[in-house]
Structure 1
Amino acid sequence: MLDDHSRAVAAHGVALDAPNTMNTALVLRRAIWRKTEPGWQVCGIPQVFYTDHGSDFTSRHLEQVAAELNIRLVTYLPGRPRCRGKIERFFDTINTMCLAGLPGYAPRGTLDRAGQARLNLPELDEAIGRFITNVYHQRPHSETRQAPHQRWVAGGFLPRMPESLQQLDLLLLTVAKPRKIHPDGVHLFGLRYLDPTLAAYVGESVIVRYDPRDLAEIRLFHQGTFLSRAICPELAGTTISLREILASRSRHRRDLTATLASRRATVDELMTLRAGPAPIPADSEPDPEGPTPPAAERGGNARRLKLYARE
């Protein structure tokens, strides 16, 4: 994520999975909050957030976050790649000046690209961070004629910050879902969450906020006010993500489908053996050299198709 004025990097993220809302929220959190790295002063809530039309940028979650933080979302025009020139230029800088010098770099066309890997994901993330702070932020930009870090600190700009990191995490790293409190707790993703406070709110509608990376605990809000934290007894003391739960359900569904298909084939085979060959009518004798009757090929269970004169 780049600051449009200074071209300084507000935050970056490295991931192997496809772009998704949670990864975007994590990078936006790093962009807004103060950095722990010395000399990396870019932070603050942006006034305008320019994105493309990716599903991770047009999600309902990001719209809620933008409304809470008073951020105006602007998407690039579809089919107009020149609108993304600044960020694409930065990607090219990363590829040519940073990645090309790292151990295990394998450009397109290299045989066995996966076998060339020398860095794990945290090491790659750290290497990109060092390049941003030590090289990119200190070099004059070709358009602004100033180093991104120098242009950011010039003029004494004071960024707009959230009240606390806890408030920022609550907005960015949790997803809001409406639910109703039942006598046995709150139901979410087939799990049951309990808390003694909920006994006085049975039948009431609440907003559930949860972290997709850890579903052991959820936060409940009633009429805009924090109500309580609810715990899932089955997940207490463990950290289980939404992705793990969905993957487990998919595996269970595939196993059930395979089991049902196997049992169905066994039942069909037993029914065929029990039925035996089709009986031969007394007034007709089968031709020993002729073709096998179709009914005998299907075990005698196949019904003849009735034909009507008007069809």
Structure 2
Amino acid sequence: MVDAEKRQAATARLRQLAAAGTLTSRHVRLAAAGCGVSERTVWRWIGPQAPPADGRSRPGYRLSGADRAAFAFYRGNATAVHRARRAVVEGIGPPAGTALPDFLVQGWAGARPVSVHTLRRAFADQLPAAERALWREGENARRAAQVYLTRPPSVRNQVWEMDHKQLPILVLPPRGGAVSPWMTTVLDEGTRALVGWSIALNAHSGTVLTAIRMGLVQDAERGPFGAVPALVRVDRGLEFASRAVSEALNALGVDVHRLPAYTPHRKGKVERFHRTLEQMLLSTLPGFTGGPRDAAGRLHGPLDDRAAACAAAQTADVRPMGIDALVGRIRDWVTWYNTAHQHSALDGRSPAQAWEDDPAPVARIDPARLRHLLLAGVERTVGKDGVRWEGMSYTAPELQGRGGERVQIRFMPHDNRSIEVYVRGEHLCTAHPQAHLTPEQVEAIRAAERAETKRLRAAQRRSARRSRTELAPMTGAAPAAESRLRPAVDADELARRRCDRALAAKSSTSLLGLVDPTIHPVVQESENP
């Protein structure tokens, strides 16, 4: 196809030469070579019947309002539009046995006939691609043909983008049939780092809060991330609009920007991350529901995502992976993505490298101040091995002496390194799994046990003294302030004891400290029974 501007320039120049009487076949030959057409075509351009120099080979057909309305009425079918238009113009009756609406009959009254090819070319040339896609396929197709603005680059941890995604993969929960879990993601716009995430069977405000906390807290095992952002972009999901989420972010001075409905492109980075996760990881795992299917719609492979198969997945011979196994796979992949993935938008750097290279300051916060963002768990009873949770025993020095008590726990999903223990709404301690205690933690627990034992024994002695003080007056003995409970001793026994003490005092061996206490016991009890 000849470029219109090049054609206009060549035609104008050749006509100037023709008007001056200097036009030769060489000029036409050069123009034809420059425009990529034949010489005959160039002579036709500048001949007596030559088209205007604006580049159109013929005046062309201009769409009318009725044509555009018919294009929408017939869902983008240009052939159906031509059939209906021809029926009105030529008066040959209803097309294809269907009656025409009055607005089309009135709109085409007196119109000139055109061929179907001319009408198709007019729709292709005069209607934008987005409008044609809208009438043919709908709103999503129109958006795919739109041109959007891009945001300027931001510094690290300045803006977060948050979103939910139902993962296209089947997993087995602890109870029930196979399901597709939901993932809540927190992505840093400036460095493309996944700073927070959580996976649950159903998305709710608790998973949002825990994902936010992961993004706020710095953890050496996850990388250098972890700081308070200035702005968070979320969609219109009810989980993000909950009062708990808004209050938690507002309390930290974070502005929450709720985007208009059905505008995923305005948080396109997190949307692109979900596609990357699906393409790189989920598509390689068993149970991926976005793979090829047979003619009946069944997934290619050993797993089936139809309702009956999902309900019977727990007892099937071939079962999907457990949700804990999926969490482990995603955890490892996220670590690789944040620390090793070479991102094209970051000039080949990983998100961790981009974070480290960015000199912008970040605001840290003490993790102890963010316990309210943890996911609340059920109540548990403190047993002999501590608090049982997710198949592990958690213990801490503060749990000494609390066996049998009911406590509440809070935790981070997919992070079994610690849990937070509460008693009647008050924070008690941070408990760690016994199988992974460090020597320092073991010594702290043993020291707490010794201190608790010593404290209780001292309390027993104090209680015994108070009991004797209260009991002695009831026996009619010495005053309460001087009373002590002693075994009853008769007069002969007292006389024998005095004799033994006298003999022990006179013994020469006592001067050397060699008195055998088993033979000459030194009695120091009070004479008062």
Q: TM-score w.r.t. structure 2 length?
A: 0.32
Note the C-alpha offset of 1:60: 0.9
Q: Measure, in 2, the Cα distance between the counterparts of 1:136 and 1:15.
A: 22
* Mapped pair 1:62 → 2:264: no
Note the C-alpha offset of 1:148: 1.4
Alpha carbons 1:141, 1:147 under 8 Å: kept? yes
Q: Measure, in 1, the Cα distance between the counterparts of 2:221 and 2:284.
A: 22
Q: Percent identity?
A: 23
* Mapped pair 1:152 → 2:355: yes
- What's the counterpart of residue 213 of structure 1? 377
- What's the counterpart of residue 112 of structure 1? 304
* Mapped pair 1:16 → 2:201: yes
What per-residue deviation string (whole Å, max 9, x for no partner) do you get for residues 146-190 of structure 1? 32121111034442122x2221113x24xxxxxxxxxxxxxxxxx
Distance 1:36 1:122, change over 3 A: farther
Q: Per the alignment, in what secondary structure is the counterpart of residue 11 of structure 1?
A: strand
- What's the counterpart of residue 50 of structure 1? 233
Quick one: which amino acid aligns to residue 352 of structure 2?
A: H
Alpha carbons 1:50, 1:75 under 8 Å: kept? yes
- What's the counterpart of residue 370 of structure 2? 168
- What's the counterpart of residue 336 of structure 2? 134
Distance 1:117 1:15, change over 3 A: farther
Distance 1:16 1:72, change over 3 A: same
* Mapped pair 1:237 → 2:406: yes
Note the C-alpha offset of 1:121: 1.9
Q: Measure, in 1, the Cα distance between the counterparts of 2:328 and 2:215.
A: 16
Give aligned pairs, total. Answer: 183
Note the C-alpha offset of 1:69: 0.7
CA RMSD of aligned residues (A): 2.8
What per-residue deviation string (whole Å, max 9, x for no partner) do you get for residues 92-142 of structure 1? 000010112234434354161344654322221221121122245422323
Note the C-alpha offset of 1:236: 5.4
Gaps of 5+ in 1: 174-210, 217-234, 242-311
- What's the counterpart of residue 282 of structure 2? 99
Distance 1:117 1:24, change over 3 A: farther
Q: Measure, in 2, the Cα distance between the counterparts of 1:81 and 1:74.
A: 14
- What's the counterpart of residue 295 of structure 1? none
Q: Per the alignment, in what secondary structure is the counterpart of residue 197 of structure 2?
A: coil
* Mapped pair 1:3 → 2:188: yes
Q: Measure, in 2, the Cα distance between the counterparts of 1:158 and 1:78.
A: 33
Distance 1:154 1:21, change over 3 A: same
Q: Measure, in 1, the Cα distance between the counterparts of 2:204 and 2:244.
A: 11
Alpha carbons 1:45, 1:161 under 8 Å: kept? yes
Distance 1:42 1:212, change over 3 A: closer
Note the C-alpha offset of 1:51: 0.7
Distance 1:89 1:69, change over 3 A: same
Residue from 314, 319, 323 that aligns with 1:121:
323
- What's the counterpart of residue 287 of structure 1? none
Q: TM-score w.r.t. structure 1 length?
A: 0.52
Q: Measure, in 2, the Cα distance between the counterparts of 1:10 and 1:213.
A: 23
Note the C-alpha offset of 1:144: 2.9
User: Which protein has the bigger helix share?
Assistant: 2
What per-residue deviation string (whole Å, max 9, x for no partner) do you get for residues 14-59 of structure 1? 1112x11111001111111122525x22111111111111111111
Distance 1:84 1:67, change over 3 A: closer
Q: Measure, in 1, the Cα distance between the counterparts of 2:357 and 2:363.
A: 16
Q: Per the alignment, in what secondary structure is the counterpart of residue 321 of structure 2?
A: coil
Q: Measure, in 2, the Cα distance between the counterparts of 1:36 and 1:122.
A: 23
Q: Per the alignment, in what secondary structure is the counterpart of residue 233 of structure 2?
A: strand
Alpha carbons 1:31, 1:44 under 8 Å: kept? yes
Q: Measure, in 2, the Cα distance between the counterparts of 1:136 and 1:165.
A: 22
- What's the counterpart of residue 218 of structure 2? 34
Alpha carbons 1:105, 1:117 under 8 Å: kept? no
Q: Measure, in 2, the Cα distance between the counterparts of 1:240 and 1:133.
A: 27
Alpha carbons 1:76, 1:83 under 8 Å: kept? yes
Alpha carbons 1:49, 1:71 under 8 Å: kept? yes
Q: Measure, in 1, the Cα distance between the counterparts of 2:287 and 2:273.
A: 21
Distance 1:158 1:123, change over 3 A: farther
What per-residue deviation string (whole Å, max 9, x for no partner) do you get for residues 215-271 of structure 1? 68xxxxxxxxxxxxxxxxxx9516599xxxxxxxxxxxxxxxxxxxxxxxxxxxxxx
RCO greater where, 1 or 2, for CA within 8 Å and sep 6 or more?
A: 1
* Mapped pair 1:87 → 2:301: no
